[in-house]
Amino acid sequence: MIRCPECSAEIDVDEDEVEEGEILSCPECESELEVSQIHPVHLNVISDDDDDDEDDEDEEEEEEEAEDGDKGDLIEEEEEEVEDEE
């Protein structure tokens, strides 16, 4: 019998049928668990922090795109001024 490293609940898994890298779900706390070792089976909790990091990266990209858009407007205005002078 394997125990969840997060909540210590028993997870019914046939140790001969799991593979390294396989993702399991705890029936009690619903944590995602990765099989990091077999014989004996060892589970690691897949942290939810990764999702937060992805959200932060998306927000940073959106901010950069907004800044780039502002710079693009400045370039267009400068080009218009040059055309007016000609």
pLDDT digits (tens, 9 = 90+) for 26-76: 999 999 999 999 888 999 999 765 444 455 555 666 666 555 555 555 555
| Runs of H (alpha helix) within the chain | 49-85
On whether the CB atoms of residues 34 and 41 are closer than 8 A, the answer is no
Q: Which one-letter amino acid corresponds to residue 31?
A: S
On whether the CB atoms of residues 44 and 32 are closer than 8 A, the answer is no
Neighbours of 48 (CB within 10 A): 9
> How much is the pTM?
0.52
